[in-house]
Amino acid sequence: MYDLTVIIPTFKEEANIRNIVTEVDAVLKHTGIEAEILVVDDNSPDTTIAIVNDLKASMPNVNLLVRTTDHGLSQSVADGFLHASSDIFVVIDADFSHPPALIPKMYKEIRAGNDVVIGSRYMDGGGIRKWPLKRRVISLGATFLGRLLFPDITDPVSGFFAIRKQVVAQAHLKPRGYKILLEVLGKGIWEHDKEIPFEFSDREIGSSKLKIKTIIEYAQQVVDITLYSFTHRQSAAWREWKRVFKFGIVGISGIIINQGVLISLKEYAGFSIPVASVFAIELAILNNFIWNDLWTFKECDKTQKLSCTWHRLLLFEVVSAGGAIINFALLNILTFSMAIDYRIANIIGILLGFGWNFVVNRRITWIRK
């Protein structure tokens, strides 16, 4: 039994495979981690398989899985999970885009109690070298979508990550496309995660296999994980939906307060409508802030950057103002420029304002780290 299995998915990597296996092995030998290296190849037509077989002759910890059906990167990694002979897995590309030197650190973070450890390109200290603009834009788009499901994770679509076997042992993975990590995060069972920054460098040799089809598959995957999270309540994405629902309930309480204060001040205290409305709106915002702070986002880390309640309140006020502007603008634009019924226009405005408030507050007011 090994301490760790390093899964290397390959397709036509004859130019890189010998070097990557050798380097991964050297790094692990150096740190004393007993690791299996599992190459999962999609029946490459070049000499990749022959090279791995050659390596196996002198390296007993190298194993090769050759797949002949259901070609695909995510499928290969998921197959690797099933064939690995240890309880901790690291996935790394064959083309040296991911630094093998970080593997021991990832392994230690898992041993320290994390379920998922992610090599992140998008956190402080991380980066991307030598990627054409087109690739950067595609990656940022994919990352943005993924972060809607996992707002605490800066790089939920990284190809460089480590997991505990239990994370995926019961998961009904439906791997396709390139983003196996998003599938693991969406359908696996996990609690603690850690990100480690690294600099992604584009391959020097060979060619990328990313195609347009990959992008479409990714969009399908995001929808699929969203639906899955509604029926599998132990999934991490469900944790996020619970916050959305709580945020919505708090929002409804704010509407009641807003309306109640407006009517009271106008009818019983003789305030003019504009003045009453300012008090009503501000009280509703304060109400919403208090409940969101104590309830919706109670487990968010309040000990670090945003430790001061006034600071969070100020952010919440500013973001709420943005939500109100979105609501107001949509109501007017849809009603007056597009001849949509004002009641429907207002509902659309409310929903988009709500979406803005949740997503932006989640990213800046109640962040975890």
Ligand X SMILES: Nc1nc2c(ncn2[C@@H]2O[C@H](COP(=O)(O)OP(=O)(O)O)[C@@H](O)[C@H]2O)c(=O)[nH]1
List of residues contacting Mg ion (CB under 5 A): 95, 97, 203
Q: Which are the contacts of 236, defined by CB distance < 8 A and separation ≥ 6?
A: 150, 185, 186, 188, 190, 229
**CA distance linking residue 94 with residue 76, whole number of Å:** 13
Q: Is residue 71 a contact residue for ligand X (CB under 6 A)?
A: yes
Q: Is residue 76 a contact residue for ligand X (CB under 6 A)?
A: yes
Residue 353 binds which of Mg ion, ligand X, none (CB < 5-8 A, kind-dependent): none
Residue pair 217/259 in contact by the 8 Å Cβ criterion = no
- Least CB distance to ligand X at residue 203 (A): 5
- Least CB distance to ligand X at residue 65 (A): 9
Q: Which residue is nearest to ligand X (CB)?
A: 208
SS3 content of the chain, % helix, strand, coil (to 5): 55, 10, 30
Q: Is residue 41 a contact residue for ligand X (CB under 6 A)?
A: yes
- Least CB distance to ligand X at residue 41 (A): 6
**Nearest to ligand X of 42, 183 (CB atom):** 42
- Least CB distance to Mg ion at residue 23 (A): 16
Q: Is residue 10 a contact residue for ligand X (CB under 6 A)?
A: yes
Residue pair 138/212 in contact by the 8 Å Cβ criterion = no
**Nearest to ligand X of 9, 188 (CB atom):** 9
- Least CB distance to Mg ion at residue 97 (A): 4
**Nearest to Mg ion of 112, 137 (CB atom):** 137
**CA distance linking residue 288 with residue 256, whole number of Å:** 11
Q: Is residue 128 a contact residue for ligand X (CB under 6 A)?
A: no
The answer to whether the Cα torsion of 134, 135, 140, 141 is positive or negative is positive
- Least CB distance to ligand X at residue 69 (A): 12
Long-range contacts made by residues 228-237, C-beta under 8 angstroms, separation at least 24?
228/172, 228/186, 228/187, 229/149, 229/186, 232/187, 234/189, 235/186, 235/187, 235/188, 235/189, 236/150, 236/185, 236/186, 236/188, 236/190, 237/149, 237/150, 237/185, 237/186
The DSSP H or E segment spanning 245 is: helix 236-268
Residue 71 binds which of Mg ion, ligand X, none (CB < 5-8 A, kind-dependent): ligand X
Which span sits near ligand X by CB under 6 A: 39-47, 248-256, 260-268, 294-302? 39-47
**Nearest to ligand X of 43, 166 (CB atom):** 43
Q: Is residue 94 a contact residue for ligand X (CB under 6 A)?
A: yes
Which one of 85, 208, 220, 307 is in contact with ligand X (CB under 6 A)? 208
**Nearest to ligand X of 132, 260 (CB atom):** 132
C-alpha dist (Å) from residue 247 to 18, 187, 292, 321, 324: 52, 24, 7, 16, 16
Residues that bind ligand X (CB under 6 A): 9-11, 13, 40-42, 71-73, 76, 93-95, 97, 203, 208-210
